[in-house]
Amino acid sequence: MTKYNWGMIGTGWIAHEMADALNSVNGEIYAVADVNEKALRTFSSEKHIQHSYLNPDEMINDPNVDVIYIATPHNFHYGYIMKALEAGKHVFAEKAITVNAQQLNNVRKLAEEKGLIVTEGLTLLHMPLYKKIKGLIQSGKLGQIKLVQVNFGSLKDYDVRNRFFNKDLAGGALLDIGGYATAFARSFLKSQPVSVLTTVDYFETGVDEQSGIILKNLDDQLAVMALSMRAKQPKRGVISGTGGYIEISNYPRATRASITYTEDAHTETHDVITAGDESLALQYEVRDMQRYIEQGHDDGEFALSFDVMNILTNVRNQWGMKYPFDQIKSEQEEKYGVKL
Ligand SMILES: NC(=O)c1ccc[n+]([C@@H]2O[C@H](COP(=O)([O-])OP(=O)(O)OC[C@H]3O[C@@H](n4cnc5c(N)ncnc54)[C@H](O)[C@@H]3O)[C@@H](O)[C@H]2O)c1
C-alpha cells in the first residue's frame, strides 16, 4: 500500500485515537494543525508528528500533504473540507461530515469536479462485520427485510458550554450520534425513506436532547430510531426480516452479531457471526480511505453519508431547529457556508 502524507486538523478526543491508527498503518504522520497552541505542541510531540501548524489553512496548502483529516467541532468541517478540495487534497472528515444537506451537496459537487475522495468517519461503514451481515441478507436466509430498530443514548456530563450542548458548535444529539443510528438504518433499507416522522425534546441551550424518528420507504420497510444525550441506552440495532432477525450490540464498532432464524411462527434456530477487532476500528477507516484513493473511488460510502445527511436535515427542518450557520449570508459564507 502506498504511504500517504496525512495532515490532521484538531487534536482533541478522537484525534488522539486517529493519530495512533495513522501511526500504526503508515508508520508516521506528516502534519497536524490546531488553533489551540498548547494542545498542538503537546499532541505533535506525543504522536511524533513532523510538522505542526497553528494556521490550518497553511497546512491545507502545504504541497506535501495528500489527505486532510478533520476532527474539529462539526461546524468547522465544511469550511475546511471545501478549502482542502480546492487545494486538491482528499478529505477524511469526522462525523457529522457537515451540518446540513446543502453543505454536503456543495462538497459532493466540488469533489466530483476535482476528482477527489471525501469520506465521513462513520466507523460502522468500515467494520468488517457489516460485509458479512450484508452477505447474509443478500443470501436471502432472513427473507425480506421489513424493519430496522436502532438506538444510541449517551450520558454527557452536564456542561452547557461543551460542544455537545453548545448551539454555536452545532451541538445536539442528532448531529453528534444520530449519524451512526441513521447510517445503520439506511444501510439496511433498500431505498431512501420517503416519509420521516419525528418528535424531539430540547436541552436548555436549545439543542436537541432526545428524539424519536421513524423512516418509511417505498419498499415496505420501516426504521425506528431513538436518540438521547442525557440518558444512556445500549447501542443496539436489530434488523428483522420475514425469515429471522439479527441483533447487533455496540453497532458503531461491532464485531459480533446474533442471528435468530424464524422458519415459521413456532421454530427458532440461533447462530452467531463474528468479524474484525474493535480496537482496530480507526485503522480500518485509514486502510479503506487509502484504498479508495488508490482505486479512484469509494465503495458507496459517500452516497450513504449523503442519504444520511438528507435524513438528518429533513428531521431538523421538521423540528424547526436552526443553527446560526444554517443561514448563508455573505459572499464568503455563500461559498463555504460558515465564516472562515
Ligand atoms: N468517529 C468517532 O468515533 C468520533 C468520536 C468522537 C468524536 N467524533 C467527531 O470528531 C469531531 C471532534 O470531536 P472531539 O470529541 O474529538 O472534540 P474535541 O472538543 O475533543 O476536539 C476538538 C478539537 O478541534 C480543535 N478546534 C476547535 N476549533 C477549531 C478550528 N476552528 N480550527 C482548528 N481546530 C479547531 C480544538 O482545539 C480541539 O483540539 C466531532 O465532529 C465529533 O463528532 C467522532
Q: Tens digits of per-residue pLDDT, 300-333?
A: 999 999 999 999 999 999 999 999 988 655 455 5
| Overall average pLDDT of the 20-45 stretch | 97
> How remote is the CA of residue 317 from the centroid of ligand 1, in Å?
25
User: Among 32-46, 122-136, 256-270, whose mean pLDDT is lowest?
Assistant: 256-270
Ligand 1 centroid to Cα of residue 58, in Å, is 19
Would you say residue 90 has pLDDT above 80?
Answer: yes
Residues 6+ apart with CB under 8 A from 64: 5, 30, 31
Residue 293 in this model has a pLDDT that exceeds 90:
yes
What is the predicted pLDDT for the residue at 158? 86
Q: How far does residue 2's CA lie from ligand 1's centre (Å)?
A: 27
Note the pLDDT of residue 329.
Answer: 52
Q: Which amino acid is at 136?
A: L
For residue 169, give the 3-state DSSP assignment. helix
Question: How large is the average pLDDT for residues 98-124?
Answer: 97
The residue-averaged pLDDT of 127-151 equals 97
pLDDT band at 340 (very low <50, low <70, confident <90, very high): very low
Q: What is the pTM of this model?
A: 0.95
The residues, any chain, with a CB within 8 Å of residue 301's CB and separated by 6 or more, are 119, 120, 122, 125, 288, 292
Quote the CA–CA distance of 70 and 76 in Å, as a whole number.
9
> Looking at residues 195-221, what average pLDDT do you find?
97
Query: Per-residue pLDDT tens for 144-163?
Result: 999 999 999 999 988 888 89
pLDDT in the model for residue 333: 56
What are the structural domains of the chain? 125-281 (3.30.360.10)
Mean pLDDT for the chain? Answer: 95
Q: What is the pLDDT of residues 55-69, one digit of tens each?
A: 999 999 999 999 999
pLDDT of residue 336: 59
In 10 A of CB 226, how many CB atoms? Answer: 17
Task: Categorise residue 64: left if φ over 0, alpha if ψ from -120 to 50, beta otherwise.
Answer: alpha
Q: What is the mean predicted confidence (pLDDT) over 174-199?
A: 98
- Taking 90 as the threshold, does the pLDDT of residue 339 lie above it? no
pLDDT at 334 over 80: no
Pocket test for ligand 1, best of 34, 47, 77 (most atoms within 8 A of CB): 34
Residues with CB under 6 A from ligand 1: 9-15, 34-36, 39, 56, 71-74, 76, 94-95, 121, 123, 163, 176
Q: Compute, in angstroms, the gap from residue 327 CA to the centroid of ligand 1.
A: 23
Mutate to test the pocket of ligand 1, among 18, 38, 72, 92 (most ligand atoms within 8 A of CB): 72
Share of the chain above pLDDT 70, in %: 96
At 337 the pLDDT is 52
> 178: which strand partners?
none
> What's the confidence (pLDDT) of residue 77?
98
Which of 94, 104, 184, 283 should be mutated for ligand 1, with most atoms under 8 A from CB?
94
pLDDT of residue 71: 98
